[in-house]
Amino acid sequence: MRLSSFLTLACAIAAFVLSLLCLFAGSSKSFLQHADLLTLNISRIGHTSVFNTSDGNGGFLDNLVNDIEGDLNSLVSDVTSDIAEALDLPDFFNVHLMDFCEGSYQPNATVRHAHENITDCSNRTTLFHFQPTKVIQEKLPSGVTLDDIHWPQKIQDAEHALKIASIAMIVLYIIGIAFAGIAVLTALWGIWTDGRLSAMVNFLVDMLAFLSLGIASAIATAIIVKAVDSINKYGDDIGIAAYKGSRFLGMTWAATVVMLLASITSIAQCCTGRHKRDRYGEKGTAYQY
């Protein structure tokens, strides 16, 4: 029995569970909503100087005066007014690996530490790619376009640039999860097999899982940073913002690190090999190894 394989087994199980949680986060309105890649906050859309209507021509905002009390200028300047709600838009989107969920801030978006009320989630798809421009356009009321809300073209450009990376990331996560699951089985085999063969198999499987999860985590980090930076840079003028999913990043990198630890343990087992011990023949003759 190789006791060090218990460490390999624990690491493989931890990586398998953590990566599965990353993949299935957001699969329902109540499951790991805070383990998202990023949050797109559009609750304050319209509350910027771009929508200043001091000249009396408010464009599409003129139609919202009937929904929210007050004149057009006070609508824009009043931080408590909810233009997003008047446009039938959710306050935020939580973006996950295979879907996105939307909801509203309770009691409202201006309250510090407001509660997220998830109202709906999209269908889960394997090769999912979040497209905020398309989603916002589909949710805008009839007669209102992206041009009316000054939606930045740069955000749409960033979406297209990240599409291939997003698909590659999901594929690598699935491969990494598969190898992590196999690593659990090979670690169990290694506990009861005291030899270099099982250790070498463990090492190969562990390394494949580590590389897959590591590359997937690196791509996810790059996508999150690029998307958040683009949204905050180009969306600030119209009142939208994005936040990195720190919990997701912690989970995915933790899975990568424990898989690396499993690989290091396995290669150490390969180098150590079978413990040398005296073996005796039928008549007690000692064979030297």
Spell out a b/e string for 66-81, using b for 16 or more CB atoms within 10 Å of the CB, else e. eebeeebeebbeeeeb
The reported pLDDT for the residue numbered 72 is 42
Tell me the angle at which helices 153-192 and 132-139 cross, rounded to the nearest 10 degrees.
120
Q: Over the chain, what is the mean pLDDT? A: 78
Residue with tokens 């497209």: 131
Asked if residue 132 has a cis previous peptide bond (ω within 30° of 0), the answer is no
Choose between 268 and 74: higher pLDDT.
Answer: 268
- Give the Cα separation of 147 and 137 in Å (integer): 10
What Rg do the C-alpha atoms of the chain give, in angstroms? 27
pLDDT tens digits for 67-95? 444 444 444 444 444 566 667 778 888 99
User: Whose CA is closest to 121, among 98, 89, 146?
Assistant: 98
pTM over 0.85? The answer is: no
| 216 pLDDT more than 80 | yes
Choose between 142 and 46: higher pLDDT.
Answer: 142
* Phi, psi for 196 (deg, rounded to 5): -70, -30
* Phi, psi for 263 (deg, rounded to 5): -65, -40
- Give the Cα separation of 18 and 61 in Å (integer): 46
> What is the band of 4 on the pLDDT scale with cuts at 50, 70, 90?
low
At the top level of CATH, the class of 5-45+87-273 is mainly alpha
pLDDT tens digits for 218-263? 999 999 998 899 889 888 888 888 899 899 999 999 999 999 998 8
Question: 3-class SS at 38?
Answer: strand
Q: Where are the domains of the chain?
A: 5-45+87-273
Q: What percent of the chain has pLDDT over 90?
A: 24
H or E segment and range at residue 268? helix 246-272
Contact 253, 174 (CB under 8 A): no
Choose between 109 and 191: higher pLDDT.
Answer: 191
The reported pLDDT for the residue numbered 279 is 43
The reported pLDDT for the residue numbered 178 is 94
